Amino acid sequence: MPLLPGAEPFRHDGGEVGVLVCHGFTGSPQSVRPWADYLAERGLTVSLPLLPGHGTRWQDMAVTGWQDWYAEVDRELWTLRERCSRVFVCGLSMGGALSLRLAARHGDAVSGAVLVNPANKVHGLAARALPVVRHLVRTTKGIASDIAKPGMEETGYDRVPLHAAHSFRRFLRMLDSELPQVTQPLLLMHSPHDHVVPPADSARILARVSSRDVTERLLDRSYHVATLDHDAPTVFEETYAFIGRLSAGTGEESAGAPRTASRG
């Protein structure tokens, strides 16, 4: 099946610091490609995989589930670890959730995580009905292109396959129980005017993780796909500064240092 424009995976061989960038549910690498390009242009080794079932047609996604999506980013993490001294994970929406699980499960193999509008829950009254409804209705309306900036569009599906949505819901419920295992430095950026993932998800994540080096940034001018929106430069610059601080060995917190948070 041909890929949608911009849905191609991306890899760049750079220096000793690696970055895994993860796209979101029903989206594609196109939504986070400028983020990956920015980091690659500054000499980092970058991997941006295409998640199984994404980037083609929604029917392909309907036969995949969270185990497939997570296995893909898990493989990419270990590929980066083979050639890089440090690896950071970055993700938008579901990509942020996948990044959190990598951090929870792999400890020191992940040096830090950068999350943009990360998902923690499938919302709405229909979410509870997914176990039954998915057998009766194949899809619902899509969630792509929640972007404030005029003229910008996200390459993603115009329909959400409900079998995949049910699997995603199960994944998020499991991940929520694993969040206390996340101890790495964390940069979380979220949009107050997100129409896909509410700010409550970011608040829940920040309350549940055990990370002590925590930075929170508000993306006031953007909607959900902030990596293609007005605040994209802020996302890119903050990510690079976060990685640079930790890679240089400055700012690494001792085990007994207090947890801090900053907002901007």
What digits encode the pLDDT tens for the residues 214-259? Answer: 999 999 999 999 999 999 999 999 999 999 999 985 233 332 333 3
What is this structure's pTM? 0.90
* Residues contributing to the annotated binding site for substrate: 25, 94
Alpha carbon of 191 to those of 99, 194, 199, 226: distances in Å? Answer: 18, 5, 7, 8
Q: Tell me the CA distances in angstroms from 249 to 99, 108, 150, 216, 244, one per residue in order.
A: 22, 14, 40, 21, 9
- Hunting for tokens 């983020």 — which residue is that? 35
Annotated domain spans of the chain = 10-248
Q: How far apart are CA 232 and CA 33, in angstroms?
A: 11
Q: Give catalytic status of residue 224 as yes or no.
A: yes
C-alpha–C-alpha distance, residues 28 and 6, integer Å: 8
Q: 224, 230, 231, 247: which is the annotated catalytic residue?
A: 224
**Residue 234 confidence (pLDDT):** 98
pLDDT tens for 170-201 read 999 999 999 999 999 999 999 999 999 999 99
Known binding-site positions: 25, 94
CATH class, 10-248 region: alpha beta
Catalytic residue among 47, 93, 202, 247: 93
Pair 9, 69: CB distance under 8 Å: no
Catalytic residue list contains 211: no
Q: Please check the confidence at residue 11 and state whether its pLDDT lies above 60.
A: yes
**Catalytic residue check, 201:** no
